[in-house]
Copies of this chain bind each other. A is one copy, B any other.
Amino acid sequence: MSVIEQAGKARVAAIELGAATRTVKDAALLLMADRLVERAGDIVAANEVDVRNGRANGLTESVIDRLALTPERVAAMADGLRQMAALPDPVGEVVRGSTLANGLELRQIRVPFGVVGIIYEGRPNVTADAAGICLKSGNAALLRGSSSALSSNAAIVSVLRKAVADAGLPADAVQLLDATTRDSVKELMRARGLVDVLIPRGGASLIRTVVEESTVPVIETGVGNCHVYVDEHADLDKALAVVLNSKTQRLSTCNTAESLLVHAAVAPAFLPRVLEALHGKGVTVHGDAAFAAASADVVAATDDDWGTEYLSADISARVVDSLDDALDHIRVHGSGHTEAIVSESVAATRRFVSRVDAAAVMVNASTRFTDGGEFGFGAEIGISTQKLHARGPMGLPELTSTKYVVTGDGHVRP
């Protein structure tokens, strides 16, 4: 079946799903969870095919690890769906409302988008996650996973579709697109009018392609060249903790710090401490002249380093003469994801917060906190780095649009 045909079926399913009550949707989510656990054996068996093919195709062990499923991992997917059932339904929320001077009742009400396309990489747990978050927010999901997870995704989606149908909702609310060809991505990107929004999750090149070529509105996610700026008024103990945690708590996430900026006034005191700590954690520091002078282990930074999202045990580092120099550096090299300042000065943090252009600004806190779970959103489909519609961690409300409902009694415009 073509993507266009599948999208047409999704549109029809979206009408029923959009009008479904929370009770029905939550029952479907719980059934989806139960069935995943019941069918865990089949899913793990299907996954073994992908893992075998992956090894034969030379995938690295870290990629295989993200791909591999165990009964425990399937149970975790089911738990994710159960947690989604417990979250409030965004659909139907009255966002604003008033009675106009002429007596018309104006209500702005949260409604589903309709059909959401999600393009993602190798992890099969994303399949259940994305299906669940779309269903809870009333959207039909078109899932375009990785070819490396072909067999796993087919097994998972087959179980989920059966559960959705058994719960009384249209099975076409959850559909898997052909992952064996790039054509399905191309068709999806041109399905304006059938698909309401496209969310690419994955590497920078996938996201760039979708942004460049899609006529369907896109929510851009994920690339993070995050900075920690240590101000002249920083508490250096806090600064050390924030830098270390931002860089090393997990190396390969989009909210990991990739660049360190230190005010010149605290550089003599802070550089030796932070370098020792980073080196102790196995981090390679790509530093400017001031950093290089502070330790023989510092690698001289090139211009490319400032814009690099390493996703590894590397960090670029530079001494700046002022807070405004730090802001200028971030303006040029930042990716609009998360920027942190460590400072005890109200004036400095006010200026940094108001002038830095990013989805999230951390004041005396690790960049790693930019996360739907940490923010208390319960479920997350990704972290938007664009300014339109959603910015930062996207939970259920970010997967909805609104509709104005205006009620009168034969009102006409004079």
Which residues of A does B touch, CB under 8 Å? 15, 18-19, 98, 100-101, 104, 106, 108, 113-114, 192, 196-197, 211-212, 215, 217-219, 235, 237-238, 241-242, 244-245, 249, 331, 342, 349, 353-355, 357-366, 368-370, 374-376, 386-389, 391-393, 401-413
A237 touches B369 (CB 8 A): no
B391 touches A238 (CB 8 A): no
Chain B residues contacting A349 (CB-CB under 8 Å) are: 407
Chain B residues contacting A211 (CB-CB under 8 Å) are: 192, 215
Which of B244, B359, B401 interacts with A387 by CB under 8 Å? B401
Min CB gap A307→B, angstroms = 12
Closest to A356 in B: B403
Q: Quick one: which of A342, A363, A406, A410 has the most chain B CB within 10 A? A: A406
- Complex Cα distance, B272 from A109, in Å, reads 37
B411 touches A366 (CB 8 A): yes
Closest to A327 in B: B15
Min CB gap A260→B, angstroms = 15
User: What are 28 A-B contacts defined by CB distance under 8 Å?
Assistant: A15-B331, A104-B365, A104-B369, A114-B387, A211-B215, A217-B387, A241-B410, A241-B412, A242-B410, A242-B411, A244-B412, A245-B412, A360-B403, A360-B405, A360-B406, A361-B405, A362-B406, A362-B408, A363-B406, A365-B406, A365-B408, A365-B412, A366-B411, A368-B412, A374-B413, A391-B404, A392-B403, A392-B404
Closest to A14 in B: B357
Chain B residues contacting A215 (CB-CB under 8 Å) are: 211-212
Closest to A411 in B: B365
Given known contacts A358-B403, A364-B411, what 14 new A-B pairs fall within 8 Å (CB)? A15-B355, A19-B355, A114-B387, A360-B405, A361-B406, A363-B405, A363-B407, A365-B406, A365-B411, A368-B413, A369-B411, A370-B404, A391-B401, A392-B403
- Complex Cα distance, B391 from A196, in Å, reads 13
Which of B217, B368, B375, B387 interacts with A404 by CB under 8 Å? B375
- Complex Cα distance, B192 from A403, in Å, reads 29
Min CB gap A36→B, angstroms = 29
Chain B residues contacting A387 (CB-CB under 8 Å) are: 113-114, 196-197, 217, 401
Given A215-B211, A387-B197, A401-B391, verify A406-B354 contact (CB < 8 Å).
no
Chain B residues contacting A18 (CB-CB under 8 Å) are: 354-355
- Complex Cα distance, B102 from A375, in Å, reads 11
Chain B residues contacting A357 (CB-CB under 8 Å) are: 114
Min CB gap A39→B, angstroms = 34
Given A100-B374, A374-B413, A401-B388, verify A365-B238 contact (CB < 8 Å).
no
Q: Quick one: which of A353, A358, A387 has the most chain B CB within 10 A? A: A387
Closest to A397 in B: B96
Min CB gap A256→B, angstroms = 11
B354 touches A19 (CB 8 A): yes
Closest to A240 in B: B410
B401 touches A366 (CB 8 A): no
Closest to A11 in B: B331
Closest to A349 in B: B407
B405 touches A366 (CB 8 A): no
Chain B residues contacting A354 (CB-CB under 8 Å) are: 18-19
Chain B residues contacting A361 (CB-CB under 8 Å) are: 403-406
Chain B residues contacting A362 (CB-CB under 8 Å) are: 406, 408
- Complex Cα distance, B238 from A173, in Å, reads 39
Min CB gap A164→B, angstroms = 20
Closest to A250 in B: B413
B364 touches A410 (CB 8 A): yes
Closest to A12 in B: B331
Chain B residues contacting A375 (CB-CB under 8 Å) are: 100, 106, 404
